[in-house]
Amino acid sequence: MLGLLLGVMLLPTVLILAFRFVPVPATPLMAIRAAQGYGWQHNWVPLGQMSPVLARAVVASEDNLFCAERLGFDEAALLGQVAAWWRGGRPRGASTITMQVAKNVFLWPGRDILRKLAEAALTPQIALAWPKQRVMEVYLNSVEFGPGIYGVEAASQHFFHRPASRLTPQQAARLAVVLPNPRHWSAADPGSTIAARAATILRRTEELGSRLACLGPAGEGR
């Protein structure tokens, strides 16, 4: 029993080390959504086979400080949310891209305290074990872009009928914008509000400039 318990405790660390080098084949959310009848579209592609505008748009939309977060946390935002919770308020969330990787790859959806604690334990391990580009590569290959649609290659083919390597800046921004609510917002049919948000993301990407240096050269959308 002790050996079994130790194995269970060490399994996430072993997987973190393995996923530093090998693709993530599936996530708990993929299995849950498939059981709910949403299907399963997922095609892993290396970061170098994605249009570089996508990673930059995702940082501009989801986590402006991604390149500067040493342990995967936005400490100032996190402390602010803890203070809000302590005062009896409802935290609005301070989730970074690395925290979302911990949740998407290893944990279940939800807001319960156990999952939050597990996410907090896994996040610094990922941040220390993986370079930033690997964190982004796993994120973009695992995140949900629509009902049953996981990863940028499946999303690009589904919404725009082209590979992720040929996404335009506008298409990349629309994919980034739908991430907070992918089952209800569509990158293919964004509506005026989402389209306006995508335009804002494009401007913010330019403003971030050197703060996106960890992602590599900007490149050009095709």
**DSSP annotation string for 109-150:** SS--HHHHHHHHHHHHHHHHHS-HHHHHHHHHHHSEEETTEE
Residue 15 lies in a domain: no
Rg (CA), the chain: 17
pLDDT at 190: 82
Tokens representing residue 119 in the block:
């996410």
Straight-line distance from the first to the last Cα atom of the chain, in angstroms, rounded to the nearest whole number: 55
Question: Using 50, 70 and 90 to split pLDDT, how confident is the model at 221?
Answer: very low
Query: Which pTM does this prediction carry?
Result: 0.89
Residue 17 lies in a domain: no
pLDDT at 144: 97
Where in the sequence is the domain holding 112, given as residue range(s)?
Answer: 27-215
Torsion on CA atoms 80, 13, 29, 57, rounded to nearest 10: 60
- We report the CATH number of the domain holding residue 131 as 1.10.3810.10
Count of structural domains, the chain: 1
81 compared with 107, residue with greater pLDDT: 107
Residue 16 lies in a domain: no
pLDDT at 110: 82
Residue 118 lies in a domain: yes
Question: Using 50, 70 and 90 to split pLDDT, how confident is the model at 216?
Answer: confident
pLDDT in tens, 161-204: 999 999 999 999 999 999 999 999 999 988 888 899 999 999 99
Indicate if the pLDDT at residue 124 is higher than 70: yes
